[in-house]
Amino acid sequence: MRGTAGLLVLGLVGLGGLSACNGGEPGTDGPSAKHREGRSDVLRGLMASKETVDPKALKNAGAEAKGAPAPAPEGTGGSGQQPRPMGWAAGRVSWVGDDELLFVDGQGQEQEVLVDEATRLRRDDENAQLRDLSEGDEIRVTYEDHGQEWIARDVDAVPVPRTPAPNPESPPLR
């Protein structure tokens, strides 16, 4: 309240000083345009000081004025990033690289998925690394779609049981 009263007093003193520059008497046509503009600014400032402002809206407006991007809306999972389209696919591994994985999905299409440090890899319900996967393993991949590429978030692998080779020393079945 004291701040508002102080602004009002300063505004009136400032306007009084302006009229004193004209010899204490306003011109015959009334106050000049500059005078009216100054009074309007003071009154707008007084009215604005009485309004309540949402702190979040003020923070967003300040960030935009500085050229910084506005903060992400609440509820984005805590990361502040906008959610990406998610999907999943399953198939058999055809090739394992240093940071990517090729697999053939159920429709016979070869798919490529990139693996980064945030990807969770599991094999037989245990944590694994990309080099632990091998050709022929069945996998289920949950990924983020980044337009031209898929980034894996979860890769679950189940090794394919190999059929044992016949033992040449075992007796034949009759």
CATH of residue 129: 2.40.50.320
Report yes or no: 142 and 101 within 8 Å, Cβ to Cβ: no
Amino acid at 117: E
Number of domains into which the chain is organized: 1
What is the Cα–Cα distance from 89 to 73, expressed in whole angstroms? 30
124 domain residue, yes or no: yes
128 in any annotated domain:
yes
Residue 26 and residue 22: Cα distance in Å, rounded?
A: 7
Q: pLDDT by residue (tens digit) across 34-71?
A: 777 777 777 777 666 666 666 676 666 665 555 555 55
The pLDDT of residue 25: 54
Is residue 96 assigned to a domain? yes
- Report yes or no on 31 lying in a domain: no
* Residue 126 domain flag: yes
Residue pair 99/114 in contact (Cβ under 8 Å)? The answer is yes
- Find the domain containing 113 and state its range: 86-158
* Most confident region among 11-20, 28-37, 153-162 by mean pLDDT: 153-162
Can you give the pTM of this predicted structure?
0.47
Q: Is residue 23 part of a domain?
A: no
